[in-house]
């Protein structure tokens, strides 16, 4: 109740002051840490995991929106800050509800503030096409799911997550596929991902940070709910989803190597990591679910920070094209160091959360087949390759004429970057992984 009151209070005052948004985020994050500390780092069974995943992803949502607000603190438009607070309210509600129809409604509403950010503060006229792609993919995949939810309600007279689990609801493979499709689009998996690079390229800074850091996690959370409630262990859909996720991650890794736009490369790397999340969630083993939760958490920090760093590079060079970006190490060694740290975290060096989640996924893939382990290994290798490729292109080579020396970055941008990196080390220091 306190969290909801603060969100409503900030919505009323955000027109007058953008700082209210920051204060609200800080207060909400502190309240959540104090009230949900145990559920963050202690998981006993699959039922408890739902509560733990909800708590962690809600905290991640508030944290990423806080970082995005800090990075764009000089934005003057009151409607911009209203969109940010609206987004925060929707995300907190989405990860908090325990009724499936309520989750569906809030899941669809989450599209509205992102569309507002892209259309209102996007960079180029192509933002309209990017928005059309995003809305079309999401709505077309979600409408059949609504019919399936209503069908389940007419049969079992309940849509409560815990009631449906106690009733041991059984659905056929077609209904299960319809229920999983909107979340596979939101993640997205390879083949349903075409909207994501377009949306990232055209979105403003805060939009890209929130989209990569939080909105993609709605897909993983929703997929977990569907598998938690309706999945049968011998369903042929499981093998199909896992194989498409693993091979899709491999293909997305290859696509990363072929990108010329910095934001598009980071966007395709998200497709790779979300494929690993699908592997962990659909296998429905505690080991795999822990790995999926870790991957979503680590990806939320690293990908959001990479988009922030790509924005800073764009401001220095005037272009996101890798053909025009090189030699950053010569003029901006501190920024080059940040590129190295974030690319290393993204590829999964020890002791990053990315590495831990990928290692946890290996036994999960092994239970499927030896071939799955081989494909997952190639995906990890290519992940390291495209991250090193991105770092070397941006920071090494000849200094381009359009890259001029100057001040490194403003305090809000630097604070936003440090805020992304610190929690990953903080979680390891707390021994959270050992408790899991």
Per-residue pLDDT band for 48 (boundaries 50, 70, 90) equals very low
Q: Which residues lie below 8 Å from residue 391, measured CB to CB, with a gap of 6+?
A: 339, 340, 343
Tokens representing 394?
Answer: 């941006």
Report whether pLDDT(34) > 60. no
Q: Is the dihedral of CA 150, 153, 159, 164 positive or negative?
A: negative
Report whether pLDDT(26) > 80. no
Report whether pLDDT(102) > 70. yes
Tokens representing 365?
Answer: 């893939």
Tokens representing 72?
Answer: 């764009």
Based on the number of CB atoms within 10 Å of its own CB, is 103 exposed (0-12), middle (13-18) or buried (19 or more)?
buried
Per-residue pLDDT band for 42 (boundaries 50, 70, 90) equals very low
Q: Which residues lie below 8 Å from residue 30, measured CB to CB, with a gap of 6+?
A: none
Neighbours of 1 (CB within 10 A): 5
- Mean pLDDT, the chain, rounded, equals 80
Question: Residue 122 phi/psi, 5° resolution?
Answer: -70, 170
Position 195 scores a pLDDT of 93
Contact 192, 140 (CB under 8 A): no
Q: What is the DSSP string of 98-151?
A: -BHHHHHHHHHHTHHHHHHHHHHH-SSTTHHHHHHHHHHHHHHHHHHHHHHHHH
**How much is the average pLDDT of 267-293?**
85
Position 248 scores a pLDDT of 92
Number of H helices, E strands in the chain: 22, 0
CA–CA separation, 301 and 314 (whole Å): 20
Neighbours of 260 (CB within 10 A): 12
What is the pTM for the complete model shown? 0.87
CA–CA separation, 63 and 111 (whole Å): 19
Tokens representing 7?
Answer: 């969100």
Rg (CA), the chain: 21
**How much is the average pLDDT of 337-360?**
87
Residue listed under structure tokens 């905290």: 59
Count how many residues are written for the chain.
436
Residue listed under structure tokens 């822990």: 290
**How much is the average pLDDT of 171-190?**
87
Report whether pLDDT(16) > 70. no
Cα–Cα distances in angstroms (integers) from residue 325 to residues 313, 334, 384, in the given order: 8, 16, 20
Report whether pLDDT(250) > 80. yes
Classify 157 as helix, strand or coil.
coil
Per-residue pLDDT band for 18 (boundaries 50, 70, 90) equals low
Cα–Cα distances in angstroms (integers) from residue 265 to residues 123, 190, 193, 245, 268, in the given order: 18, 14, 13, 19, 5
Nearest to 206 by CA among 72, 36, 22: 72
At 38, which helix (H) or strand (E)?
A: helix 37-41
Q: Which residues lie below 8 Å from residue 129, measured CB to CB, with a gap of 6+?
A: 198
Report whether pLDDT(430) > 80. no
- Pick 389 or 432 by higher pLDDT: 389
Residue listed under structure tokens 């809600």: 58
Classify 160 as helix, strand or coil.
strand
188-207 residues labelled b (16+ CB within 10 A) or e (exposed): bbbebbebbbbbbbbbbbbb
CA–CA separation, 19 and 29 (whole Å): 15
């Amino acid at each position: 109740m306190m969290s909801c009151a603060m969100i409503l209070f900030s919505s009323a005052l955000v027109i007058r002051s953008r700082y209210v948004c920051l204060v609200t985020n800080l207060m909400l994050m502190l309240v959540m840490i104090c009230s949900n500390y145990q559920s963050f780092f202690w998981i006993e069974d699959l039922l408890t995991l739902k509560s733990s995943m909800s708590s962690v992803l809600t905290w991640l949502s508030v944290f990423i929106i806080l970082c995005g607000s800090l990075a764009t603190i000089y934005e003057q438009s009151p409607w911009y800050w209203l969109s940010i607070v609206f987004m925060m309210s929707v995300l907190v509600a989405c990860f908090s509800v325990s009724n499936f129809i309520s989750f569906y409604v809030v899941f669809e509403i989450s599209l509205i503030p992102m569309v507002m950010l892209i259309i209102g503060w996007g960079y180029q006229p192509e933002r309209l096409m990017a928005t059309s792609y995003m809305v079309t993919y999401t709505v077309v995949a979600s409408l059949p799911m609504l019919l399936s939810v209503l069908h389940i309600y007419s049969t079992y007279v309940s849509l409560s997550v815990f009631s449906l689990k106690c009733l041991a609801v059984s659905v056929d493979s077609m209904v299960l596929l319809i229920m999983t499709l909107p979340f596979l689009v939101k993640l997205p998996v390879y083949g349903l991902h075409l909207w994501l690079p377009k949306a990232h390229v055209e979105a403003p800074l805060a939009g890209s940070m929130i989209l990569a850091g939080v909105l993609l996690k709605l897909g993983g959370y929703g997929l977990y709910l569907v598998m938690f409630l309706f999945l049968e262990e011998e369903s042929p859909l499981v093998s199909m989803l896992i194989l498409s996720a693993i091979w899709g991650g491999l293909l997305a890794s290859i696509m990363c190597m072929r990108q010329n736009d910095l934001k598009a490369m980071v966007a395709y790397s998200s497709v790779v990591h979300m494929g690993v999340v699908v592997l962990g969630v659909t296998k429905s083993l505690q080991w795999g679910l822990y790995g999926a939760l870790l991957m979503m958490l680590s990806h939320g920090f690293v990908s959001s920070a990479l988009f922030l760093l790509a924005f800073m590079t764009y401001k220095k060079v005037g272009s996101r094209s890798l053909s025009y970006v090189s030699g950053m190490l010569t003029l901006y060694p501190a920024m080059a160091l940040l590129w190295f740290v974030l690319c290393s975290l993204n590829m999964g060096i020890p002791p990053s959360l990315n590495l831990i989640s990928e290692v946890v996924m290996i036994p999960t893939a092994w239970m499927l087949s030896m071939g799955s382990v081989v494909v997952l290994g190639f995906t990890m290798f290519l992940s390291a390759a495209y991250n090193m490729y991105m770092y070397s292109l941006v920071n090494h080579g000849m200094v381009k004429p359009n890259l001029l020396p100057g001040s490194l970055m403003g305090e809000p941008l630097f604070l936003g970057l440090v805020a992304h990196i610190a929690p990953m080390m903080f979680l390891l220091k707390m021994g959270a992984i050992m408790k899991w």
